[in-house]
Homo-oligomer: A and B are copies of this chain.
Amino acid sequence: MKVLQERICQDGNVLSDTVLKVDAFLNHQVDSKLAMLIGEEFAKRFAKENITKVLTIEASGIQFAMATGFALQVPFVYAKKKKAITQSDDVYTASVHSFTRKETYQISVAKAYLKPGERVLIVDDFLATGAALVGLCDIVKEAGAELVGVGAVIEKSFQEGRGLLEERGIAIHSLARIKSMSPETGIEFIEEIGACKS
């Protein structure tokens, strides 16, 4: 998605070979017009899939799930993060290990809002290690719903997340695929605009 990649070059901040800050326009301050365009792009890419629900995880996936749900005219659900490991009968849960925060947390979705037969699109801001997205995929499977694919706003293609999802046969659409990056040389994208110095 050209407009997104150009914006990453303009306002993104490459802190290291693995850390990209986009909190100026995606996940702290949010450009609401760009977020809406991102939702429309996901809706277009999965248009033939008869999606009935969009699923994401709090907090930074919510704006993109909102935009995608609105574009598809379906509801969205955001998984909650819990610290306590209180397994309740009325929620689906999965364990997610955060490599950046070096902790394992639980995510949960109320069973009432994810039913067998639903056709679910998962969206999130980043596809990197894939830990959170794999947790969401597990929850969709546990619910007996059909996973039609994963939409990531930004993919760090040099990390293992895409491989983990592809192993499960999941369709992935990432709108900005980063091949490599560094504070010195900037960002190299896999498609579209190529390389840039952010």
* Residues of chain B with a CB closer than 8 A to A110's CB: 23, 28-29
The answer to the question of A19 belonging to the interface, with a C-beta cut-off of 8 Å to chain B, is no
B113, A77: Cβ atoms closer than 8 Å: no
A 105-117 binary contact with B (CB < 8 Å = 1; else 0)? 0000110110000
* Residues of chain B with a CB closer than 8 A to A168's CB: none
Other-chain contact of A30, B29, B30, B76, B80 (Cβ < 8 Å): B76
User: What interface size band does chain A fall in?
Assistant: 20 to 34
A 50-79 binary contact with B (CB < 8 Å = 1; else 0)? 000010001100110111011001111110
Closest 8 CB pairs of A and B: A32-B69, A58-B59, A29-B113, A59-B59, A62-B62, A32-B70, A63-B66, A29-B77
* Residues of chain B with a CB closer than 8 A to A76's CB: 29-30, 32
A interface residues (Cβ-Cβ under 8 A, vs B): 23-25, 28-33, 35-36, 54, 58-59, 62-63, 65-67, 69-70, 73-78, 80, 109-110, 112-113
Secondary structure of the A contact surface, majority rule: mixed
Query: Chain copies in the assembly?
Result: 2
* Residues of chain B with a CB closer than 8 A to A78's CB: 28, 30, 59
* Residues of chain B with a CB closer than 8 A to A30's CB: 65-66, 69, 75-78
A66, B28: Cβ atoms closer than 8 Å: no
Q: How far is the CB of A43 from chain B (nearest CB, A)?
A: 11
Other-chain contact of A70, B36, B69, B75, B77 (Cβ < 8 Å): B36
Complex A-B: 23 CB contacts under 8 Å: A23-B113, A28-B78, A28-B80, A28-B113, A29-B75, A29-B77, A29-B113, A30-B65, A30-B66, A30-B76, A31-B75, A32-B69, A32-B70, A32-B75, A35-B66, A36-B70, A58-B58, A58-B59, A59-B59, A59-B78, A62-B62, A66-B66, A66-B67
